[in-house]
Structures are given as C-alpha cells and as structure tokens.
Structure 1
Amino acid sequence: MNRNPNPSSCHEPVIDLQDVTVQYGGRRVLNGVTFQVRQRDFVGLIASNGAGKTTLLKTIVGLLQPASGSVKLFGTPVDRFKDWERIGYVPQKNNLNPLFPATVREVVMSGLYGRKRLFRRIGAAERRRAEQALEALGIADIAERRIGQLSGGQQQRVFLARAIAGNPELLILDEPTVGIDMETQRAFFHMLRHMHERHRLTFLIVSHDVETLQAYLGEKPVHTHDRLRFYVKHSHSLEDCGEDDISHGLLQEKERLTVGHLV
C-alpha cells in the first residue's frame, strides 16, 4: 500500500512531543521536552549516559507514561495508537540473550507479526517480503543459523531485516552499532543513508557515534534540550524508489551498498 503517494508532501508530524516530563525510578529523567519528528526526517539523538535517551524512546513507544505533557504518533495520542506495524524497531545489540534459540529466519519473520496480525496466518506475499529482506541485507545464506551464533554486524543486519520486513514508515534504532567495528559501522550507516534518501522512511536513531551522524546530519543540532541534542536531515528527494516494498528497492541497490563488509 502506498501510504504517501505524494513524495513532495513530507512535512506531517510522525512523532510529536509536547512539554513531556517523565519520572523514572523516583527521579525526574526528562523535563518538558518539546520536539517533532516529521515525515522523512532522519533524526539523530546524541546525549551522554544518563541524559534520558532510552527513557525518551520508551516514552515515545508507550512503554513509559509521561508525568505530564503529550506524545503523539502519526497524529494519534500514544495511549490510543494501534497501528504499530507502521513502526520498525532495531534494539541495542547488547539486549540480545545469546542463548535465545531462534534462527535468523524466525527472527526476521517475527517482524511480520504486528498486533493486528498476531492471530492471523502469514500469507505468501508476507513470507516473500521476509525472504527479500534476508536477501537484501545479505543474510539469506545464514538464515538457518541461531541468532546467538552470529557476529555483532550480522546480528544488526538481522534486526534491520526484521524491522523492514513489515514495510514500516518509521524506523527507531537504539544504539544500533554498539560493539561493532568501525568498518561495519560505516557500512551500516551507508545502508541507512540509502534507505533515507531513496525510500519514504523516517528515522529516529540514538547513537554515541557523533562523528558518523554529524557527517550526514551536520555539525550543529537543530534543537537542544538539557543534555539531549537533536540533529536532523530532511529528505526532499523526488527520486523515490518506484516500489513501496523497501526490501525490493534494497535488492536493486545491494551491489552498490557495502553490505558484504557487515560481518
């Protein structure tokens, strides 16, 4: 389904934070945060440890309730938001239990199960999209291996494939390159830049990698709140991928991207 038929119309808020205050563990972690992420923004959030980055992400996706203020996703208050398939999430690498018994294919397939699809059989088209995501991210040849047996770069490709298999509009990435070597980080960000420039995707990424983010988003944050710094690049490119299926478009660019270095 083409959710944004007019690529030049990309200014609608995807995430809308208004005066958000969050208390966690008996202390105030966030105080009056106001910020908007709009369609096709690439937002890099940089802050020191303890500044509230993870707390902010958990509040955005409804895992934490603000003490005051409001959070909206695609114009809907987060406590009433139901269309979770519109959002893909790539967690921190170190959140993975290495003993988790799932295979690569099973992890990627799990991205097809949104709340609306939980009790419905996965169809042939959806399975094909998962296989395309495996191929596009260069992990089809390890699809039957256990996720805990993979290197850090391979695991991140699996989680990214899982996120794009559901064809989301918003990708949230929480420290996606922690513990990954520099060459792998460059290849990973190369891939994200392509997805942002050529597809109708919005990104919110939390990272300590200031140099890499600033190389794409610019050296000055567009907004600062306490210790939180928001860097933003908006994609106005009209050269959108002709396919709404993200994994299909990535397959066409696979040779150009340096995914072979993500090992």
Structure 2
Amino acid sequence: MMLPIYVIAHAEANGHCGAKTTIAVVNDVFTWPYVKSDVAAFVSSCIHCLSSSSYRIPWHYGPKLQATAPNNVLLFDFLNLPPSAHGDTYILVLKDGMSNYVGLVVCTEPTAEVKQSALNKAPFLIGLTFRFGSHFKNTITSRLENVFGAQHHFVTAYCPWTNGSVEVVKRLVLHAIKTLLSEYTLPITKWTSILPPVQHSINAMPSDRIGGIAPLTAFAGLTGTSQLRAIIARSSLITIDEPTLQAYQQKTLHATRKDLDNIH
C-alpha cells in the first residue's frame, strides 16, 4: 500500500528528488506516525539514485570466501598500466586472503604462463580466487590445482560482497606509483623501477584489518621495518667467536622450526 505512494512522490515526474522534498510531497496529502523515517529509508535505497550519484553505495551483505590462516586463500588479478621503458604493461597483483601480504609481478601480457611462473616463484601455497578471464580459466590453471592441491573459485560478477579485496590493493598500488613518480620526478615509463618500494610499503606498514600488525609479520613472522628507524642510532656491534656464532644460528633455526611446526 505504501510503496506506490513513495514511488509517485519520489520518482518519474518528481525527478527523484531528495528525502526532504519527498517527505514534503507525501505530507501534503498523507500522514502517519513514522512518515519521515519511512520515506527517508525508501529514498536512501532507491537504486536509480544510488547508481547515478557520486556517494558511496551501501551494498548488501552476502557470503564470502574467507581465510583463517596464511596460504588458505590467494586472490589475484591483473592491473593494466601504460607501457614501461621495457614494454611491460601489466602487474599481476597477488594477495594473501588472511594476512593481506601482497606480491607484485611485472609482465608484458596477462597470460596463463605469466600466472604459472608467478605462482611457482611466489611464497604462496594456495586456495585460489580470481576472475573469469581466459588467462585464469584454462588448462594450466587446472594443472596448477593438481600440483598445489588447491581449489580455484571464480568470484561472481555483480556480487560486490565477493569482490573488492584485490581491487583495493590495485587502487593502493596505482596511488603509490603515481605519488612516487611525482616525488622522484620520473616519467611514467619508469613505473617498473619503483615497484619494489611500493610492494614493501604495502607489506611493511601496520594494517588495521589484522589488528595493527604488518602484513609481512602476519604472513611470515618477520618484522616490518619503518623508514623512521634509519634515523635512530644503532647500538654498537659486538665481537663473538665462531662457536658462539654457530650457537646463535642453531638457536634461531630451532626456534623457526618450532614455529613452523606449530603453524602446521
């Protein structure tokens, strides 16, 4: 009963007016106890207004594949950039679903061979999530599943609650590339030369999503380093003999092995 009133007061001849105007139009003819909140809720959910405005769109909640430990889920996609001085035009962006650890691989074309090479070299053992491009949906991908014991999953188009993880990283990478090129006064063709510091900045800086620790720490247990530490005076070096050095090294190796055993 109420929906036709909302539509007539808000849409078509009224030009999808704002909430205040729509409320005034409704109040001119009808009234009920919660008219303001009801009309405001309808206007805020009008799909035509949302799709044509510049405001953030409140997407619906829905199920999403989540990771509970490093290497559970790997998300990746290709990022297209202007040709570099060496002819490279793409970055394969890889992201660990739990730790947010990011890998950036420069490539000339978005092919399955590039993806295979990157996964063989990258420190990811994987459950795969990616898009429906031909460079992802092919025989090589099926073979990678068998080699790694992984299961790939394609995100569904126009389901925003399943998308966004890699897109956020791609936006961060683009922003970092643009700002560093500007800071170093480099031409756009030199974007490949600043990719290592871009990757380091993403992985070494604390992330609110994982409790304020760095993705590098969450993924590999290594401490992310800040550039500010370079200005702090370091303690003086100590001199030790070879047996003591070997003892330190063995202690570190045993601790690393214990941590790995606890993970697996």
> What TM-score do you get using the length of structure 2 for normalisation?
0.23
- The structure richer in strand per residue is 1
Q: Which structure ranks higher in relative contact order (CA pairs < 8 Å, sequence separation ≥ 6)?
A: 1
Rg comparison, structure with higher value: 2
Identify the structure with the greater helix proportion: 2
